[in-house]
Amino acid sequence: MLGTMQDGQLSIANLLRHGSRVHATAEVVTWTGTGSRRATYTEVAREAAKLAHALRGLGVTSDQRIGTFMWNNNEHLVAYLAVPAMGAVLHTLNIRLFPEQLTYVANHAEDHVVLVDGTLVPLLAKVLPTFDTVKHVVVVNGDASTVQAPDGVTVHSYAELLADQPDEFEWPAVDENSAAAMCYTSGTTGDPKGVVYTHRSIWLHSMQVCMTDSMALAQSDRALVIVPQFHAMSWGLPYAALMVGASLIMPDRFLQPEPLAAMIAAERPTMAGAVPTIWQGLLALLKQRPQDLAPLTRAVVGGSACPPALMAAFDELGVTIIHAWGMTETSPLGSVSRPPAGVSGDEEWQYRILQGRFPGSVRARLMADDGTQLPWDNEAVGELEVAGPWVAAAYYRVAEGEEGSEKFHDGWLRTGDVGAITPDGFLRLTDRSKDIIKSGGEWISSVDLENQVMAHPAVAEAAVIGVPDEKWSERPLVAVVLAEGQSATPDELRSFLAAKVAKWQLPENWTFIDEVPKTSVGKFDKKRLRAAAAGGELDIAHLS
């Protein structure tokens, strides 16, 4: 028996039509450093039509890849909409990748056009001659004449290119299962891997972002989107905002604590999204220069585990940090930590510090090393595997047997994250499989140690890695960044930990550093930290 429902394609073009008409007066606000520039969703849609016409004129006729090398701003949102809606594929280039990685991803994706922000032209110029397939560079908010293009590449001014274009476009009918956008993983091991999102996966993911037990993005929200638009599609916030009519506040290149504080004061966001390091920096500023954050009441934090001490500090400021987990491969929403109904006090807190509950569209399982499934009892620890309609089934142009293909099997994504799951479906991550420390046959969670160390008032950041040990195989090394104006010794920090972790887990190895190295998306780069330790670059104190 067949149903009687109509069949409508879940396309970005339909999302664009809906948002620009039903939520015409909602706006995208771009910070300039001293103030804001604004555009309504209707104006964004008109500019998207102009960009689509311009790209057609540059030879974009079907699913060519259009790269963006840009900050979070109005023009990047225009590209988010225009490129997939016209049937092409948006490729958000990560501006923080190493040059050789940028070359790899642009050539692997076969980008045809690159839109670049004027402030990023010098960075792009270094790698542009190595881009084999790029034929056009479009300079946004900058002087196109400053670009020295290699042979075969034409440079255009975004403003001039769009100046005489019509502000309406006949958006083509696009199959919802066709490619809409793509991001590459940060490539901490091997070459970066391409993840291709479909129109359907983006639409369904946007609906999840708006669910009340998820990010709960609503028409009444003004969302401060700090997470970069090149990082897992800015966690889906731009598309979800268009779906429900929430306004967007885009920080452009002004990501430091002081401009973010000024942005919050001027534009009064109600919610925000960013990785933990952003909130740690803002918290340090607010301790020096207190500021009323209202009406900001919630902040979604993902990308890496959020220290409970950071969550508690923002609670005191009236901002609830909502823990979330995900990956580029999961679009990225995999789980969001909204405590169950009826809990309060310490029980509620114990749920909040978990990585979150899986939504109905994300299936999860824990796998032991021998390939057997583990129970959801909050005790059994294994590798997390997930599946669902916005979870990648493969990497772009990675064949079976090639490096990276081992991440997928039996229709499941192997996340590389290690943890447990509660009986009611909450994820408790203990580590990345490559970061967990094996000491004397027992496992030590680097994340648990980091969270405990960062609860010390003198500590701004702490990263834990395993270092070789003749007796125990591996022991933890704690790299500590002290808060400004604070002091502490390894003995003091170890004593602080003594009441919080098992005695055999107490680290003997400590080092103080100026900053924990970060990946291109703001996570602790433990690969670089391990290399520094192995190379004798760290001054390590060994306690008895």
- What is the rounded distance in angstroms from the CA atom of residue 320 to the CA atom of residue 297? 6
Residue with tokens 């996340």: 415
Instruction: Return the half-sphere exposure (C-beta side, CA atoms, 13 A cut-off) of residue 359.
Output: 26
Closest CA to 463 of 536, 521, 534, 514: 514
Instruction: Return the half-sphere exposure (C-beta side, CA atoms, 13 A cut-off) of residue 297.
Output: 8
End-to-end alpha carbon distance in the chain:
73
- What is the rounded distance in angstroms from the CA atom of residue 218 to the CA atom of residue 22? 14
Residue 443 a catalytic site member: yes
Q: Are 125 and 81 contacting, i.e. CB atoms less than 8 angstroms apart? A: no
- What is the rounded distance in angstroms from the CA atom of residue 386 to the CA atom of residue 421? 12
Residue 126 a catalytic site member: no
Q: Are 273 and 294 contacting, i.e. CB atoms less than 8 angstroms apart? A: no
Catalytic: which of 267, 329, 385, 450?
329
Q: Are 155 and 137 contacting, i.e. CB atoms less than 8 angstroms apart? A: yes
Catalytic: which of 30, 92, 103, 185?
185
Beta bridge partners of 248: 28, 223
Residue 329 a catalytic site member: yes
Closest CA to 392 of 327, 437, 485, 455: 327
Residue 277 a catalytic site member: no
Catalytic: which of 443, 489, 492, 504?
443
Closest CA to 331 of 390, 273, 388: 390
Instruction: Return the half-sphere exposure (C-beta side, CA atoms, 13 A cut-off) of residue 381.
Output: 14
Cis status, amide bond into 257, omega within 30 of 0? no
What does the radius of gyration of the chain's CA atoms come to, in whole angstroms?
23
Residue 134, CA distances (Å) to 64, 110, 288 in order: 11, 7, 47
72: DSSP letter: B
Positions marked active-site: 185, 329, 438, 443
